[in-house]
Amino acid sequence: MIWQFVGWFVIFGIGALWHFIFAWTGGWAPIGWILPVNESVWEHVKLMFWPALIYYIIEGIFIYKKTNNFVFAKAMTFYLTPILSIAIFYVVYGATGFENFIFDSVVLFLLTGLQQFVSYKLLTREIIPAKEKSQLPLFIGSIVDISILAILLIVFTYAPIKIPLFEHEFYSDTGLYGILPSYV
């Protein structure tokens, strides 16, 4: 429980900082694979994914063997929070046209807390008994799921699909995608 609670604040703090680092580097393209390179909804998924991955690797060193389904729990949260984040953005913006940095920060904070809560619930629940060989497919499937999301985050940074999800400032119809011309 302590790791999950601390993780809530660490992941949120790193994620909030993550938002600005690409601009601070002058738009250094090679680091864009882990940092948001524009204000698209998709790029903001990186605020939750990469900081969480770093934290979970460190966390795993200390508690992996003391928990149930560690990799599965983390894989589920990696998909839960981006899906909810994208849904919240489209519902709130679509219904009201409201877009605000403070609101986005509160959403990031709450989603990070939810991510850690779900992680805790899955870590403490016995989905497949630890001694069964059938845990291996769950472990491998979870690693594959995490890897797929990581690969998609990287690929769509440098080769975004021209749809609103990937558009810089979707709500402004900019027609800009990926690393912005001001950084190239």
Place 67 in a pLDDT band, splitting at 50, 70 and 90. confident
Tokens of 20: 């600005």
* pTM reported for the whole predicted model: 0.85
- For residues 98 and 2, what is the distance between their CA atoms, to the nearest angstrom? 35
- Give the model's pLDDT for residue 101: 82
Residue 123 burial (C-beta neighbours within 10 Å; 0-12, 13-18, 19+) = buried
**How much is the mean pLDDT over the chain?**
87
SS3 131: coil
95-111 mean pLDDT: 85
Place of tokens 């630890």: 130
- What is the C-alpha to C-alpha distance for residues 49 and 144, in angstroms, rounded to an integer? 15
Q: Which residues contact 151 (CB under 8 A, 6 or more apart)?
A: none
Which pLDDT score is estimated for 159? 93
Looking at residue 131, what is its pLDDT? 56
Contacts of 151-155 with CB under 8 Å at 24 or more apart are 153/33, 153/45, 153/46, 153/49, 153/50, 154/33
Q: Looking at residue 62, what is its pLDDT?
A: 93
pLDDT band at 58 (very low <50, low <70, confident <90, very high): very high
Contacts of 20 (CB under 8 A, 6+ apart): none
DSSP for residue 55: H
Q: Return the pLDDT at 183.
A: 59
Q: What percent of the chain has pLDDT over 90?
A: 40
- pLDDT at position 145: 94
Q: Which has the minimum average pLDDT: 47-56, 75-84, 124-133?
A: 124-133
Distance between alpha carbon 116 and the CA centroid of its chain, in Å? 12
Length of the chain: 184
Cα dist. 113→22, 32, 48, 183 in Å? Answer: 25, 26, 11, 33
pLDDT score recorded for residue 127:
65
pLDDT digits (tens, 9 = 90+) for 76-91: 999 998 899 889 988 8
Distance CA 38, CA 151 (A): 18
Residue 129 pLDDT class (50, 70, 90 cuts):
low
Question: What is the predicted pLDDT for the residue at 158?
Answer: 92
What is the pLDDT confidence band of residue 66, given thresholds at 50, 70 and 90? confident
